[in-house]
Chain A
Amino acid sequence: MAAFLLRRLVNYMVLIAVATSLAYMLAATALSPRSNYEGRNPRPPAAVIDAQLSRYNLNDHTPLFERYLRWAGGVLRGDLGSTWNGDRVDAEIGRRIGVTLRLILLGVVLGSVAGVLVGAYAAVRQYGWFDRLSTAVAFVVLAIPTVVLANTLIIGAVWLNDHLGAQIFLVSGEATPGFEGGVAGGLLDRVKHLVLPTVSLAVGQIAVYSRYQRNMMLDVLDADFIRTAMAKGLRRRTALVKHALRTALIPAVTYFAFTFGSLLVGATITESVFGWHGMGEELVASIRTNDVNTVAAISCFAALAVLLASLASDVLHAVLDPRVRVG
């Protein structure tokens, strides 16, 4: 068992290393931090720019491989390098992970729980009105890109705020800057900011989970063991909750781990539209600002998140399903 886990971890490390290196090479070749300095007004002298860039290990006149080695050496010591204007990448990333977590946690949990419930109920009442309605709604929701959904939510919120004459929904940022009004007021302010992004994340998740759970549930509804449970004397409803839902829940839970991992860097649009300064927004910003080291760091973090999520989903699967547990 230990040897197996070790082999798997080594494989993960190799994958992360190769992926991050590839991303670094690509970013270092394609992005030009030099242009950031050259675009300044007044334009600094070339020697100054060179010195500045070299200090941050961003000078494109240094051979790529040399830059790579210096960067990789730093990463191995736990130093992710500097941004194009000299800030520490580690600090920036650390701050933004917190923001992203605060943003997605509620949306993902809400979306998965509601989606599973909707899907399970739709399956039990297959072809009933609820099933038809939830299927139709899920199809429409799945066809709405996050961009459209998020912007539509903002349009709707602004319209509502205008008509009610009160700022019920706040559409930009995580909290009102410089807000004064005590702890309770501050919390309320944060909630007002959180509602719309959470909805925009959760709606899509509900649609995905409800479709998924409905199919899983349909697969077990006719299973022999449900018949056995009823033959023992359980009522249909009890048999469905105790035996069918418990069994059909396994794939949804493992899927949850996976979604969570991919959203850590994947909530780009939600973050950008609602002005949350999280990882996803940083991803776009770092490319726009030719920030090579940040791009590499985000790649590393994304690779880590995906692999940890897949490991977590495997572990969860093994915990929930005795059939795949190691004997």
Chain B
Amino acid sequence: MRVALLATCVADTIAPRAARATVRLLERLGHEVDFPAEQTCCGQMHINSGYPDLAMRLIRHHADTFGGYDAVVLPSASCAGSIRHQHAVVARSRGDAGLAERADALAARTYELSELLVDVLGVHDVGARYPHRVTYHPTCHSLRMLRVGDRPLTLLRHVRDIDLVELPAAEECCGFGGTFAMKNSATSGAILADKVANIRSTAASVCAAADSSCLLHIGGGLSRSRTPVRTVHLAEILASTEGTDAL
């Protein structure tokens, strides 16, 4: 099938490997990936920071950019959550019923990567090989907003040579929370310290997740505490095959 990729502003700018891996993975599975050039940001930061009025501009831009596609995939549960659960609500509350309708329609065709793979494409084994000890952090928005359940773990369990270890208190937030990390820096740091300690306890060499933003946060904590664990997006693991390694 032909899928439009929303790289997300975070992955496009700071974590391009996650978006590149998404492209490689889907192409390897025989699908056509398009990257609508006008895309920018879903507006989640504006919505969650208390600026729904300013977010309207980004919600409209997103609907204009992706309105013509049958399916949209993104390597972020958080942005997918915003598109699916916030765009139409904000548009409606700002009195733009037309945009709300377009946002609703687009939301129904928008998938986080593991949802697209498992629910739409019906794959569990993507043919990946990843010979590393990996622990998986299920991000809050993938768990409690999108409810992706064990889809990511199902995909990971089918990866060859992976040594998947359970993360203690996995379902607890890493403390990122967007602008929360800056506004409530000390509290965010305290939550992060516990996440880092839990990751360290697994003796994994890789911490994986479905959101580049959470990985940026966790990675920053690992780096600050000189913990030798790499953060890797789920897409990068699934895109790895014989010969490639963490793209």
A and B: bona fide binding partners? no
Residues of A participating in the B interface, judged by any CB pair closer than 8 Å: none
Residues of B participating in the A interface, judged by any CB pair closer than 8 Å: none
